[in-house]
Amino acid sequence: MKGGSERLSRRRLFTSESVTEGHPDKVADQISDAILDGILVQDPVARVAAECLVTTGLAFVAGEITTSKSIDIPDIVRSTIAEIGYLDSRLGLDAMTCAVITSIDRQSPDIAMGVDTGGAGDQGMMFGYATRESPELMPLPIVLAHRLTKRLAQARKSGEVGWLRPDGKSQVTVEYDGEEPVRIRAIVVSAQHDEEISNGEIHRTIREAIIEPVMPEGLIDPKLTKIHINPTGRFVTGGPHGDAGLTGRKIIVDTYGGMGRHGGGAFSGKDPSKVDRSASYAARWIAKNIVASELAETCEVQLAYAIGVAEPVSVLVDTRGTGRAPDHELEAAVRRVFDLTPLGIIEALGLRRPVFKRTAAYGHFGREPEADGAFSWERCDRVEELKSALG
């Protein structure tokens, strides 16, 4: 009996969520990062902190931008909203007719004094995480949740499911036996839809066209897996018309779905001199290389900085008991292999390029590195150096 109870005690459930690019907070994130990209095209060393609020018929952009170039912010806002799919006033936001208001100042010279010499743009702590439970070296619940929302967008934009509207959410609950995912216990999909579609049609189509194509069959248990589709029964009013959206409100969706810790700083709209963004990318880069090198099954990395200071004030490697070497030895190896100054991170990952709008929906991590440098922090390019540093 004791062995059976110990076995049961190893069982646990973990849930993560994702949202589509038409979710109001994600609309705001994409606008902020589109503005950042638009500026970086002309001025790779610009200082940008662009925040956005979207609501019915309105997009409001504020922040601090220091650049020698000029860009048409309203045009970027409208083209981003149109690309997402808000092209009809009946959806509460029409890219062509919505109001666009801007209030932009320059970066504080007090901050610039520290950043111009290579220091961090702010204090703070940033986390990165990696685990062997999925091919992406990401927690499985967030990987599966993103698959669902990406599939919603794909089916809508291709016309395969013509009654879908841009807003949507997913949630996936995975059952673990110890650290091993053994089944999916719950799937939630909430999809914004046209008014005339019946609930029966919504449920059938979401199951057949959205859930079944992207969920791993081996983890679905017909008896235990619960599937909830539009649980309230109706989701016509959505997007910025249903809820105001703000840049930076989906930081757990953006990262590890809650499985790894988060330092609290959002990413979108911030140029890479802000360690909220660049050091979070570096921490993921480190953690992923440690796991990819088989030096640990799971790894969490924390970096911490003081404003205006280049070197991190602390580096923490936590393998949660799965490391092939003691954590303090891995920390020493990380310091030898990675330049963790803000300028070192920016140069190593090529973060002066306009690659950030693509990160603003469906997660900043667990994506394939792209030829132009997007998602460069997902490269497993320091595996051999880490092994050598450990002797």
CA distance 303 to 310: 12
Q: Which residues are bridge partners to 93 per DSSP?
A: 88
From the candidates 51, 175, 254, 378, which is the catalytic residue? 51
From the candidates 147, 150, 241, 270, which is the catalytic residue? 270
Identify whether 270 is a catalytic site residue: yes
From the candidates 250, 284, 357, 382, which is the catalytic residue? 250
From the candidates 274, 284, 288, 382, which is the catalytic residue? 274
Identify whether 201 is a catalytic site residue: no
From the candidates 243, 311, 327, 329, which is the catalytic residue? 243
Identify whether 357 is a catalytic site residue: no
Identify whether 235 is a catalytic site residue: yes
Identify whether 276 is a catalytic site residue: yes
Return the amino acid letter for 376: S
CA distance 294 to 243: 44
Decide: helix, strand or coil at residue 285. helix
From the candidates 169, 277, 364, 382, which is the catalytic residue? 169
Identify whether 387 is a catalytic site residue: no
Exposure string (b/e) for 20-49, b if CB count within 10 Å is 16 or more? Answer: bbbbbbbbbbbbbbbbbbbbbeebeebbbb
Identify whether 160 is a catalytic site residue: no
From the candidates 14, 17, 21, 23, which is the catalytic residue? 23
From the candidates 112, 209, 244, 389, which is the catalytic residue? 244
Q: Are 239 and 165 in contact (CB under 8 A)?
A: yes
From the candidates 25, 29, 122, 254, which is the catalytic residue? 25
| Token digits of residue 112 | 């610039």
CA distance 176 to 225: 14
Identify whether 14 is a catalytic site residue: no
Identify whether 370 is a catalytic site residue: no
Identify whether 249 is a catalytic site residue: yes
The helix (H) or strand (E) run that includes residue 210 is: none
Q: Are 322 and 129 in contact (CB under 8 A)?
A: no
CA distance 75 to 65: 17
Number of Cα atoms under 13 Å in the Cβ half of residue 200: 0
Identify whether 116 is a catalytic site residue: no
From the candidates 14, 17, 21, 26, which is the catalytic residue? 26
Return the amino acid letter for 238: G
Number of Cα atoms under 13 Å in the Cβ half of residue 143: 20
Identify whether 274 is a catalytic site residue: yes
Q: Are 307 and 273 in contact (CB under 8 A)?
A: no
Return the amino acid letter for 5: S
CA distance 191 to 78: 24
Hunting for tokens 């963790």 — which residue is that?
Answer: 340
From the candidates 241, 249, 288, 364, which is the catalytic residue? 249
Identify whether 78 is a catalytic site residue: no
Identify whether 2 is a catalytic site residue: no
Catalytic positions are 23, 25-26, 51, 64, 169, 235, 243-244, 249-250, 270, 274, 276
